[in-house]
Amino acid sequence: MTSASTFSDQPESSEAEKPFAQATPPSTNDTQLDTVGEPSIDDSITVTLHGRQPPHDQVQVTISQVALKQVEGHSMGDMSRELGGVLMGQFIQEDDTFLVKVEAVLPVKTDDHGPVHFTFTADAWAQLHQDRADHYPDLDIVGWFHTHPNLGVFYSADDVIVHSAAFVMPWQVGLVFDPILGEGCLVGWIDHSDDVGKLKLSSIDGFYELLDVQDTSVVNWRFVESAVWQQGVYPQTGYELSNQVYAPANDWPLLPAISPWWGVILGGLSLLISLLLLIDRLIAGVN
């Protein structure tokens, strides 16, 4: 496997050659994780580094162009509303570093989506688990994706709630894709140096793209900035690196500040209610 680097002035290091090399199964320090074998990467396939070399304490992501093409194809189904699904792949843990490889996606049909929002219903989760068993039984859900048709790529407050409620593992990432602008960004749980040990949803400003379809990048990658819960703007800053998530600018008056934990709590309650309804349906079906 060979490696190239884009959008970064930093020199390549030997660590960029094989992001999955010599990896070990995940540990079970705080949470029991699904154990998977070491992912295999064809040595003949080039990996391109976007952004900076990921530090050892940040989730390190390798996303295949096969998966990106699946996202692109699904997004063409409806350009007027947001679409989404889950990212399928493998994860391993090496010391304090999580290594994630996104290999495919599973689109989802949900009734709860519109021009500026997307979320997972109980029926959507039931269908996703069935589709996973049918198509990717050996892969894990390593995150989610959704589209922002002609909106640019960022995490809205609703997106933060979805990620915080349903994709809570430190190796689960989010992909936002704008099919009209051809832009994408990755968001994940980052351990910030100013608050050691506390993970926050932030832009992933360094990751790998597996060039298994074409020699050039499938997506125009963007990095986003400014806290999502504060007044934000969306300057077209190209590939300036930062590690915060933000919402686009709007002309609406600012609302009083609300703690983001209310959104997380409400999102968690919504997910719990959906799970209880699903269990009730399953019990009713058995009876």
The C-alpha atoms of residue 76 and residue 84 are separated, in whole angstroms, by 12
The whole domain housing 94 covers 3-286
- Three-class secondary structure of residue 270 per DSSP: helix
Task: Say if residue 15's pLDDT is above 90.
Answer: no
- Three-class secondary structure of residue 5 per DSSP: strand
The C-alpha atoms of residue 84 and residue 106 are separated, in whole angstroms, by 9
- For 1-10, b/e burial (b = at least 16 CB within 10 A) is bebebebbee
Sequence-distant (≥ 6) Cβ neighbours of residue 283 within 8 angstroms:
none
The C-alpha atoms of residue 66 and residue 11 are separated, in whole angstroms, by 27
Q: Answer whether 247's CB lies under 8 Å from 156's CB.
A: yes
- For 53-72, b/e burial (b = at least 16 CB within 10 A) is bbeeebbbbbbbbebbbbbb
* pLDDT more than 90, % of the chain: 37
Look-up: residue for tokens 């990106």? 68
Residue 235 pLDDT class (50, 70, 90 cuts): very low
Look-up: residue for tokens 């997910």? 271
User: For position 271, which CATH number holds?
Assistant: 3.40.140.10
Residue 231, token pair as written in the block: 């007044």
The count of domains in the chain is 1
Which pLDDT does position 193 carry in this prediction? Answer: 60
162-207 tens-digit pLDDT: 999 999 999 999 999 999 999 999 999 987 666 555 778 888 989 9
22-62 tens-digit pLDDT: 222 223 233 222 323 333 445 567 899 999 988 877 899 99
Give the pTM. Answer: 0.66
